[in-house]
């Protein structure tokens, strides 16, 4: 089995992150620059990336063949939501919100798609593309409530409904179901902006990491989260799929993708909404580091 693609992707993310840390520590990215990066990711590149993720072939035959992975993915997200409610007792509120968001939101999109294609082939890539749809929906609906505050529920719902990423999910569903093709220039623009998302998001994570004492990276809470994200969740998915007699390939893709590390957007959201961005960054960095061991292990188990 060739893990070169997996390791290459992980190393690429770390190099971009290290660049952000270097630029921050050299003063080339000031506080205002960090805020600008945060706004660009949340309001521009991430919505475009979400729209791109919905630009997949979708017809009745594909719907039937991918219905099982969609159901499994929805159940995983529901399970992660309840796990987030139960797994972090005693944590102060700001950390708990970060942990709950990072529990329902993994890096299954950026890392998961190339891994699924490399190990499971074209059908694995299709399943991976379907798998991330419920996660996108959860992270920009339920997940957004962890960070967004409002004086009443009506105001909160309005803020969530008008969030750029929520609008991108809604438009994305319309594009996927209707199979609308964007004009060439619009599609090229969307692709160019979406391709910048990973770079800007990891650069922002690096700028936040530039303010962190790296000796505090390996702390009890971040290790505990990494255990939940990288070991417990995929183990529960594996057990559930086997008990439910899920199709073998669907099970393999689901287990591997559910074992992805925390998404970089966790730190982006914490920075944007003034939560514990340092802790969020530590969770992203440590879980990504440890995933360089755990993800290949899950791939070996599932392949």
For the chain, the domains span 4-24+33-302
Q: For residue 201, what pLDDT is reported?
A: 80
pLDDT of residue 234: 96
- Tokens standing for 23? 């630029």
Ranges in the chain, pLDDT < 50: 151
Position 159 scores a pLDDT of: 66
Under 8 Å between Cβ of 94 and 276: yes
- pLDDT of the residue at 155: 65
pLDDT of residue 276: 84
Give pLDDT, residue 236.
96
d(CA 84, CA 65): 30
pLDDT at position 208 is 77
Written as six digits, the tokens of 172 are: 């994305």
| Distance in Å from the first CA to the final CA of the chain | 9
Q: CB neighbours (10 Å) of residue 13?
A: 24
Q: What is the pLDDT of residue 104?
A: 93
User: Does CATH place domain 4-24+33-302 in 1.10.357.10?
Assistant: no
């Amino acid at each position: 089995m060739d893990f070169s693609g997996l390791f290459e992707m992980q190393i690429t993310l770390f190099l971009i992150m290290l660049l952000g840390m270097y630029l921050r520590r050299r003063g080339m990215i000031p506080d205002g620059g960090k805020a600008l990066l945060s706004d660009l990711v949340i309001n521009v590149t991430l919505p475009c990336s979400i729209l791109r993720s919905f630009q997949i072939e979708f017809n009745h035959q594909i719907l039937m063949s991918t219905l099982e992975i969609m159901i499994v993915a929805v159940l995983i997200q529901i399970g992660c939501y309840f796990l987030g409610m139960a797994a972090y007792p005693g944590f102060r509120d700001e950390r708990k919100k970060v942990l709950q968001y990072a529990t329902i939101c993994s890096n299954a999109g950026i890392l998961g798609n190339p891994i699924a294609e490399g190990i499971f082939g074209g059908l694995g890539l299709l399943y991976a593309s379907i798998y991330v749809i419920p996660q996108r929906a959860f992270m920009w609906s339920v997940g957004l409530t962890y960070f967004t505050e409002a004086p009443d529920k009506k105001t909160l719902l309005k803020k969530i409904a008008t969030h750029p990423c929520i609008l991108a999910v809604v438009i994305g569903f319309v594009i996927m179901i209707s199979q609308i093709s964007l004009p060439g220039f619009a599609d090229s623009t969307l692709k160019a902006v979406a391709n910048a998302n990973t770079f800007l998001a990891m650069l922002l994570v690096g700028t936040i990491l530039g303010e962190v004492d790296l000796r505090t990276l390996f702390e009890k809470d971040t290790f505990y989260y990494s255990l939940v994200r990288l070991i417990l969740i995929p183990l529960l998915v594996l057990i559930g799929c086997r008990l439910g007699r899920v199709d073998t390939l669907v099970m393999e893709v689901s287990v591997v993708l559910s074992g992805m590390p925390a998404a970089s957007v966790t730190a982006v959201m914490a920075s944007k909404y003034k939560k514990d961005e340092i802790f969020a960054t530590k969770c992203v960095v440590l879980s990504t580091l440890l995933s360089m061991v755990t993800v290949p292990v899950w791939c070996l188990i599932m392949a």
